[in-house]
Each structure stands twice: as C-alpha cells, then as structure tokens.
Structure 1
C-alpha cells in the first residue's frame, strides 16, 4: 500500500523549520492535570554562544543545540470519509477512502536539556 506524501506548491522551497525540544526526566504540573496545549516556560538564548536557557517556574535549565542525524518531517493527514456500502445495493463494491499526507515542517535540530534544573533564588538587598 502506498501512502502519498506531498509538499504543496506554496510551501515548496520555503518549508517551516521547527526545533525538537528534548528534556530528561518527567515534567509534571502541581495539579496533575494534562500538559497538552499548556504554557510550560520561557526559552531564551545567551548572547555569548547562543546557549539555550529554559526557565520553568522557579527553575532554570541550560541546554545545547544538536543537529539530528536524520531530519524529521511534520505531516498533516487529510482524508475523506469512506463511502458507505449502504448507498449501494451491491455490497461487493469496495469502500473508497482518499487519504493524503502533506509536509508542514522539517525538523533538523534539537535542543537537549539533560542537566538537572537549578533553582532560581532571588536575592533581596532590602534595607529600610
């Protein structure tokens, strides 16, 4: 079975380039709710060397940029619903499904955060 994958004409030559974010360990919320589509932190890069810095709550993580051995493609699936046999008197007709995948972005690099997070401690030099 062949699965057609296409790059649309308007995206050809200028695909979005995404970056994969890799964290070691678990990422949990205090309320144990699902993390999907939630804000988890701020990503910055240092001026000297472009080292990625991820701030999550009161913790800071330092990472590094790595090239992937093989790039990933982000694909979007589009399909038409299969036609039902109930429309036809002859149930020997196969159902027809038109499934396609289009390339939305390419991922060539990853940001690797493998060190333990360090707590952010604010010092206050308050003197009345």
Structure 2
C-alpha cells in the first residue's frame, strides 16, 4: 500500500531535438492500495487530459479524480546510472528526461459507476 501523497510519473510524448524526453508528474492525495502486488508495468487507470483547459480526469477503478496542470517551480531530472565500464571505476548518470509540469489531483475522488444497460 502506498501512503498519503503519491507521486507518479508518466511520459508526455514530447521529445526535444537532443533526444531528451519530457515527462509529467502526477500528484495524488490519498492512498493507492496494491494488495501486495507491484504496480510497475500495470495499468493504474484511464487519464484524459484537456490541454486547452489545463485540466485532467483520472479514473482509477470506480473513482473519478479531477486535476489541473501546472508548471513546477524547479524542473526535475529523471536519471539512471550509466552501464558499468571496466576501464573506469566511477560511473556517471545519464539524463533520461526532464519533468517541468505536473497534474495535481488535490480533491477527494468522486464515485464513478456505469449505468446499467436497458433491456430491449
């Protein structure tokens, strides 16, 4: 189980001329329960982003969250260690992406249910 203030990173499909990707941070208030299974590589929910309004909707299970996009005060870098090199003792870090924006979901989720289909 993850505790209060969950931060997730998603790819924004923005690539710079130097090959660097831009990712976006998703900030949630509350708890995401994983029931003992890792979340890596799993579908968490459905995200709909209205770029023209800077607003987003995130559906996780039967919960609907409303969020807003904003710029981070200071950009973050997503880095990973370089592969080991037998000629050098030191390892360097490789910048994978820059994170300049976030989607903040600060309000309580709303219950979301599908209406039953009418029989014809």
For normalisation by structure 2, the TM-score amounts to: 0.73
1:22 to 22, 27, 36: 27
Q: Which one scores higher on RCO, CA 8 angstroms, separation ≥ 6?
A: 1
2:82 alignment partner, SS class: strand
List per-residue Cα deviations over 1:17-75 (Å, max 9, x = no partner): 1100111111013x432222221011102476241110111111000101100000111
1:124 matched residue in structure 2: 116
Query: Which blocks of at least 5 consecutive residues in structure 1 are unaligned?
Result: 1-10, 84-95
SS at structure 1 position matched to 2:42: coil
Alpha-carbon separation, structure 2, partners of 1:44 and 1:13 = 28
Q: Which runs of 5+ in 2 are unaligned?
A: 1-15
TM-score (norm 1): 0.69
The aligned residue for residue 33 of structure 1 is 37
How is 1:73-84 mapped onto 2 (pairs within 5 angstroms)? 73-80=77-84
The alpha-carbon distance between structure 1 residues 123 and 114, as it changes in their structure 2 partners (threshold 3 A), is same
Superposition RMSD on alpha carbons, in Å? 2.5
What is the CA distance between 1:121 and its match in structure 2?
2.2
